[in-house]
Amino acid sequence: MTDHTWGVLSNQAITAAGVVYFLALLCALVEWSAWQSRARAAVGEKELVGAGAPADETDAPADPADAVRAQRAALFGRLSLLLTAIAVACHFVALVGRGMAADPNRVPWGNMYEFTISGSFVVAAAYVALHRRLKLSWMAPWVLGFTIVVLMLAVVGLYEPVAPLSEALNSYWLVIHVIAAIIATGGFTLGGIVSAAYLLKARFPDAALLARVPDLDNLDRVSYRIHAFAFPVWTFGVLISGPIWAHEAWGSYWNWDPKEVWAFITWVVYAGYLHARATAGWKGKKAAIVALIGLATLWFNFIGINYFSSTSQHSYAAPAAPAVVELTEGASR
Amino acid sequence: MSTTSAPDQEKNEGVRRPGELNARELARWGWRQLTSMRTALILLLLLALAAVPGSLIPQDGVDSLKADQWREAHTTLTPIYEKLGLFNVYSTPWFAAIYLLLMVSLVGCIIPRCLVYARAMRAEPPATPAKLTRLPDSTTYVTDEEPAEVLAAARKQLRGYRIRKDGDGDSVSAEKGYLREAGNLIFHMSLIIVLVAFATGSLFGYKGGVIVLVGEEYGFANELSQYDDFKSGSLFAPEDLDDFSFKIDDFHAEWLNTGAGAGTARGFNSKIRYTAGTSDEKSYDLRVNHPLTIGSTDVFLLAHGYAPVITVRDGNGDVAYSGPTIFLPQSQNLLSFGVVKAPYASPEEIGFQGLFYPFEGTVDGEPVNLMGDIGDGSHAMLSLQGFRGDLNLDAGPQSVYALDTSKANMMSPDETGKAFNLRLGETAELPDGLGSVSFDDVQQWNRVQISKSPGKEWALLGVSLALVGLLGSLFIRSRRVWVRARRVDGRTLVEIAALDRSGGGDTAAVVTGLAETLRGARTQEENR
């Protein structure tokens, strides 16, 4: 296969992944609506009887209509997971294709488009991988919706043809440093989704729409476990491998480059999150808010600094425009 | 007051107004506030907030050129920003205040915890609580086994736990995950190592840049006067500069001529020869991402460019300017801008500013730079705007890369007002017999950064230790498990409870798991 066909394959695989993610999202929404109607029915029953046990996943449903709904939820939940797994595989092919299309072959995270598709891959793949262990199946619509939106934005707004790496990026630290950043970004994003769900569930505990979302303690624990995984990866990425590479490429290990500053801010905010969970009065809601602030700083660093900062050496969003337009005109005429 | 015991004091504080705290109490109250977790948390978030402006406003220490441009563009805000130190956020007193307070809070928090930990390491697991079923995660079951048998089986199952020796007769108290707190303490102490190492680097270190022409007759010796720009910490002394010198024998860049990055360079390689102190000359291939370390100083290749050799003759035919002239790249394909000043030309001062095209092609009648690879030089072009008259050099120091044309007049080869466009080897006559300008040759230059950051190994060690400690503090589960077995109504009532001290563990699973194993073990024995 030539570089060109690899590039075409990558683009087609991204499209295919997007379509399958969308089908998975539809299945997940059917599952959610089944849960919603179960919750509504349970509330109705409760009001009818006056008192009674709330609907529980483990309880054998007495009502035949509820049994049908539970069955439907389980079926579409499984279908959604299966489709997500297929989409993740397509997504992976797209990443491989991107790396193989470059000459020389390289890791598929040399520009923002590639970083974005790699990051969203981590989110989706982590969801599939952890879905049993952390019982994440309730997250399906959130993760899928997020992944689809991000992939669309990447394809529409960030797409760039495959190009070789610029000299400063051409280092094995690109593999180490950026893979840590991508994994941590994916992890923090997944954790942020759980924290957002926590805040919604805390605000609307009885909403039928949120019936599929587990209880607050569970959400808090899952959110913590995901963040506790992502934080050391982020520490390694921005405070160990980043400075080592900065020292080799730019001559000093910490330059107060805007990207570094924001990576540090993100680190500090997430350190705050881990402390908040252990501090009386900050547990739960406040900790979840801190986690979401951390996620906001993370994304701002990725999007905002690349586009708006003129002084960052990390500005890979667009090649530097020549700053001599008026001189060119004067000198050449 | 000093003789009053602590509880009395606290009682009294309820009655007295806060203003009546004496100095010692106030200090103690302040210290307690500062070292509380809540304060540390707020300081941590404040540090994040305080770091924000430095990333949005151009910083003198990061990009002084951008900072100066910003100052010129915002005349109203600049004085206010200057007062607040917003162009040097990371060395302002208010930024320092936050991280120093954080450090003090950290130390104040860590030292007592170290002492507590040292005691805890030697101590036995705590006694079994009286009412195990009141704990959030607990279970009970009834069996016909003797209590002692159940407890013995439980002791066997709780492998890896530290078990309280005496027990309380009817119970087992077990604890594990002591290293979690050790990891936590290591993490926080390592942060102090990092901070001290970083401070050492910023106080004693330096970073300087210099443009060095490629060639035998040029070179660099590590002296302050040789640097184009130089930034150093406040405790740095010029004697700290390591004694070395180097020359760049050859520079080679690989050019991409096809594909998306066409016209730009990859794979820079400078062949340099260097001498450190009194030692022999050595050679090194200096490349991007592959610095040269001489003693404790590092030498980095950052950029490269062209230096056209330009000769200016004045009206008398005397050489008024001659030599390789460094042109600064304006884009990735090395379209470069440069300046020539010939203040001693007669009858009038002569100056030029303009662009160097390494590989020029004409598109719609306009010159365009197609790529950075100069090849054999046949497509290289200099396009210079000429000026005559006063170059304003008496007004004060000027950048060699800028021409002050405020008092000078433009001059052109003819009436059309065009620039002097020169191919390699060409000479253009200046109007009115002012002389000539010729483009003789092209040389290359490298921009080299030289820096010394003392303590960088300590910083790396500190941050690596911090990561190890962090992993320990996050993933080692600290857990207490209790099993009590006693006779109730002729049978044995077994109570099992667990408490997770790490906040994240699933203790319910531990409790049910242990209960199942203990019951399962009995069932198996019965079946045998």
- What confidence category does residue B4 fall into, taking pLDDT thresholds of 50, 70 and 90? very low
The answer to whether B271 and B444 are in contact (CB under 8 A) is: no
Other beta carbons within 10 Å of B197: 21
Yes or no, beta carbons of A247 and B62 under 8 Å apart: no
Quick one: pLDDT at residue A143? 94
Confirm or reject contact between B320 and chain A (CB < 8 A): no
- What confidence category does residue B461 fall into, taking pLDDT thresholds of 50, 70 and 90? very high
pLDDT at B10 over 50: no
Quick one: pLDDT at residue A328? 27
In B9-38, the residues whose Cβ lies within 8 Å of chain A are 37-38
Q: Which residue of A has its CA nearest to B466?
A: A235
Q: What is the pLDDT of residues A90-143, one digit of tens each?
A: 999 999 999 888 877 888 887 888 989 999 999 999 999 998 888 888 999 999
CA distance A143 to A156: 20
What is the mean pLDDT of the segment spanning B379-403? 87
Yes or no, beta carbons of B45 and A173 under 8 Å apart: no
CA distance B113 to B134: 29
The answer to whether B158 and B172 are in contact (CB under 8 A) is: yes
Minimal Cα–Cα distance from B304 to chain A, Å? 12
CA distance B214 to B195: 40
pLDDT at A324 over 50: no
CB burial string A143-176: b at 16+ within 10 A, e below? bbbbbbebbeebbeebeeebbbbbbbbbbebbeb
pLDDT at B157 over 70: yes
Q: Which residue of B has its CA nearest to A321?
A: B331
Quick one: pLDDT at residue B35? 77
Yes or no, beta carbons of B331 and A310 under 8 Å apart: no
Q: Which residue of A has its CA nearest to B385?
A: A331
Yes or no, beta carbons of A278 and B52 under 8 Å apart: no
pLDDT at A273 over 90: yes
pLDDT at B355 over 90: yes
Yes or no, beta carbons of B45 and A254 under 8 Å apart: no
Yes or no, beta carbons of A250 and B460 under 8 Å apart: no
Q: Residue A329: CA atoms inside 13 Å, Cβ hemisphere, count?
A: 3
Q: Please give the helix or strand (H or E) that residue A306 lies within, else none.
A: helix A306-308
Confirm or reject contact between B335 and chain A (CB < 8 A): yes
Q: What is the pLDDT of residues B92-146, one digit of tens each?
A: 889 889 988 888 888 888 888 899 999 988 888 888 888 888 888 888 888 888 8
Yes or no, beta carbons of B474 and A290 under 8 Å apart: no
In B399-438, the residues whose Cβ lies within 8 Å of chain A are 417-419, 421
Structure tokens at B102: 């954080």
Structure tokens at B148: 């002692």
Mean pLDDT estimate for chain B: 84
From residue B265, how far is each of B252, B256, B262, B367, B382 by CA, in Å? 10, 6, 8, 21, 21
Yes or no, beta carbons of B291 and A251 under 8 Å apart: yes
Interface test with B, best of A253, A307, A310, A316 (most B CBs within 10 A): A253
Q: Which residues contact A282 (CB under 8 A, 6 or more apart)?
A: A275, A276, A290, B38, B41
Minimal Cβ distance to B259: which of A163, A281, A328: A163
Confirm or reject contact between B365 and chain A (CB < 8 A): no
Q: What is the pLDDT of residues A72-91, one digit of tens each?
A: 888 999 999 999 999 999 99
Interface test with A, best of B39, B47, B55, B105 (most A CBs within 10 A): B55
In B130-169, the residues whose Cβ lies within 8 Å of chain A are none
Report the sign of the C-alpha dihedral through residues A215, A218, A222, A225, in that order: positive
Q: Higher confidence at residue B323 or residue B38?
A: B323
CA distance A46 to B53: 55
Quick one: pLDDT at residue A85? 95
Q: Please give the helix or strand (H or E) that residue B518 lies within, else none.
A: helix B507-527
pLDDT at B267 over 50: yes
- What confidence category does residue B28 fall into, taking pLDDT thresholds of 50, 70 and 90? confident
Quick one: pLDDT at residue A237? 93
Minimal Cβ distance to A239: which of B51, B383, B463: B463
pLDDT at B439 over 90: yes
Interface test with A, best of B41, B180, B202, B254 (most A CBs within 10 A): B41
Mean pLDDT estimate for chain A: 83
- What confidence category does residue A318 fall into, taking pLDDT thresholds of 50, 70 and 90? very low
Quick one: pLDDT at residue B225? 87
What is the mean pLDDT of the segment spanning A237-250? 89
What is the mean pLDDT of the segment spanning B9-22? 57
- What confidence category does residue B427 fall into, taking pLDDT thresholds of 50, 70 and 90? very high
pLDDT at A329 over 50: no
Yes or no, beta carbons of A231 and B268 under 8 Å apart: no
What is the mean pLDDT of the segment spanning B483-487? 88
Range scoring the smallest mean pLDDT among A117-121, B28-32, B171-175: B28-32
- What confidence category does residue A161 fall into, taking pLDDT thresholds of 50, 70 and 90? confident
- What confidence category does residue B165 fall into, taking pLDDT thresholds of 50, 70 and 90? confident
Q: What is the pLDDT of residues B280-300, one digit of tens each?
A: 889 999 988 888 988 889 998
Dump the DSSP string for B285-298.
Answer: EEBTTB-EEETTEE
Confirm or reject contact between B470 and chain A (CB < 8 A): yes
CA distance A120 to A91: 9
What is the mean pLDDT of the segment spanning B399-416? 83
Q: What is the pLDDT of residues A173-200, one digit of tens each?
A: 888 998 999 999 999 999 999 999 999 9
Yes or no, beta carbons of A327 and B475 under 8 Å apart: no
Quick one: pLDDT at residue B36? 80
Quick one: pLDDT at residue A309? 64
> Which residues of chain A neighbour B61 with C-beta distances below 8 Å?
256
pLDDT at A61 over 80: no
Closest to A45 (Cα-Cα) out of A63, A24, A22:
A63
CA distance A105 to A96: 10
Dump the DSSP string for B388-417.
Answer: EE---GGGS---TT----TTEEEE-SSTT-
Yes or no, beta carbons of B44 and A275 under 8 Å apart: yes
pLDDT at A231 over 70: yes
Quick one: pLDDT at residue B185? 93
CB pairs under 8 A between A and B: 187
Q: Please give the helix or strand (H or E) that residue B323 lies within, else none.
A: strand B319-324
What is the mean pLDDT of the segment spanning B247-262? 80
pLDDT at B5 over 70: no
Question: Pairing relation of β-strands B350-357 and B436-452?
Answer: unpaired
> Which residues of chain A neighbour B229 with C-beta distances below 8 Å?
none
Yes or no, beta carbons of A279 and B38 under 8 Å apart: yes
Q: Higher confidence at residue A300 or residue A49?
A: A300
Yes or no, beta carbons of A164 and B62 under 8 Å apart: no
- What confidence category does residue B7 fall into, taking pLDDT thresholds of 50, 70 and 90? very low
* Cis peptide bond prior to B136, omega within 30° of 0: no
Quick one: pLDDT at residue B332? 78
Yes or no, beta carbons of A255 and B418 under 8 Å apart: no
DSSP-assigned letter for residue B442:
E
- What confidence category does residue A46 fall into, taking pLDDT thresholds of 50, 70 and 90? low
Minimal Cα–Cα distance from A245 to chain B, Å? 8
Quick one: pLDDT at residue A313? 64
Minimal Cα–Cα distance from A161 to chain B, Å? 7
pLDDT at B263 over 80: no
Minimal Cα–Cα distance from A91 to chain B, Å? 24
Quick one: pLDDT at residue B25? 83
> Which residues of chain A neighbour B367 with C-beta distances below 8 Å?
332
Q: Please give the helix or strand (H or E) that residue A91 lies within, else none.
A: helix A64-101
Minimal Cβ distance to B355: which of A221, A281, A327: A327
Q: Higher confidence at residue B30 or residue B119?
A: B119
Quick one: pLDDT at residue A145? 94
Percent residues over pLDDT 70 in chain A? 86
Minimal Cβ distance to B330: which of A251, A311, A323: A323
Yes or no, beta carbons of A170 and B289 under 8 Å apart: yes
Quick one: pLDDT at residue A294? 96
Yes or no, beta carbons of B259 and A319 under 8 Å apart: no
Percent residues over pLDDT 70 in chain B? 92
Amino acid at B84: L
Minimal Cβ distance to B62: which of A103, A245, A257: A257
Minimal Cα–Cα distance from A252 to chain B, Å? 7
pLDDT at B151 over 80: yes
Q: Tokens 């006067």 label which residue?
A: B225
What is the mean pLDDT of the segment spanning B303-310? 92
Structure tokens at B340: 């020539």
DSSP-assigned letter for residue A135:
T
Closest to B241 (Cα-Cα) out of B213, B220, B256, B257:
B220
Confirm or reject contact between B40 and chain A (CB < 8 A): yes
Q: Tokens 């100095």 label which residue?
A: B23
Q: Which of B79-93, B248-262, B305-319, B408-422 has the highest mean pLDDT?
A: B305-319
Yes or no, beta carbons of A324 and B58 under 8 Å apart: no
